[in-house]
Amino acid sequence: MSTQKSVLKQSGTVERSPALRLEQEKVEQIVDALNTDLAAAYVLYHQIKKHHWNVEGAEFRDIHLFLGEAAEELEEAADELAERVQALGGVPLARGAELEEHAPIEPEDDDVYDIRTSLANDMDAYGDMIEMVREHVELTQNLGDHASSELLRQQLLQLEEDAHHIEHYLEEDTLVLSAATQ
């Protein structure tokens, strides 16, 4: 444990960067939005990792690999968001409880479900996240923070691509027959 006693930046505060030339009020709104996106990314990351670890069945390998890649994309997105929050003069959310509290998506419980249920839960979370990121693209653009807007646009592309892949996994057409159809 650290013996350092002085706090360099208090959580929840924003000391805007003069170099970025954005007004304090605008920066506070942007930091709040990006921290919400950061929280959502980490909550979804943990859910995707859970499904990555627990997937079973005939389609195990493909889904396992996809979920591993999707988790990596979410972790990278979270890192980019945290670095942008810090660059704007904010303090990125970091504690698990704080991330869960600020996330606009409800994390799945600890139980293990069949992969179709798990992916449907992921699809719901991706949909919520996509809607929120779209709103934050517009917010950051309207507040004059074109860099954050571009960052979110790039992340939105990846979120939509991963959600589209999940849609494919949830389609009815499959080579694997369930016990009910045999």
Asked if residue 75 belongs to a domain, the reply is: yes
Residue pointed to by tokens 């369930």: 178
* Residue 69 within any structural domain of the chain: yes
Tell me the whole-structure pTM to 2 decimals. Answer: 0.89
Instruction: Give counts: helices (H), strands (E), the chain.
Output: 5, 0
Burial of 69 from C-beta contacts in 10 A (0-12 / 13-18 / 19+)? middle
Look over the chain and give the mean of its residue pLDDT values, rounded to a whole number. Answer: 91
Question: What are 1-16's pLDDT values in tens digits?
Answer: 567 678 767 677 788 7
Residue 10 lies in a domain: no
Question: What CATH number is associated with residue 159?
Answer: 1.20.1260.10
**Does residue 9 form part of some domain?**
no
> Considering the domain boundaries, does residue 2 fall inside one?
no
Which residues constitute the domain of residue 147?
A: 20-170
pLDDT at residue 176, rounded to an integer: 63
DSSP string, 85-100: HHHHTB----SHHHHH
Output the pLDDT for position 164: 98
Identify whether 181 is part of a domain. no
Which residues, including other chains, have CB under 8 Å from residue 137's CB and lie 6 or more apart? Answer: 149, 152, 153, 156
Measure the CA–CA gap between 13 and 150, rounded to whole angstroms.
24
Q: Tell me: the pLDDT tens digits for 50-103?
A: 999 999 988 899 999 999 999 999 999 999 999 999 999 999 999 988 999 999
Considering only residues 123 and 181, tell me which one the structure prediction assigns the higher pLDDT: 123
Q: Which whole number is the average pLDDT over 165-181?
A: 75
Residue 3 lies in a domain: no
Q: What is the pLDDT of residue 124?
A: 97
Q: If pLDDT is split at 50, 70 and 90, which confidence band does 174 have?
A: low
Most confident of 96-100, 153-157, 171-175: 153-157
Contact 44, 70 (CB under 8 A): no
Task: Say if 107 falls within a structural domain.
Answer: yes
| Average pLDDT of the segment spanning 26-33 | 96
Per DSSP, 107 falls in state: P
Q: How many domains does the chain have?
A: 1
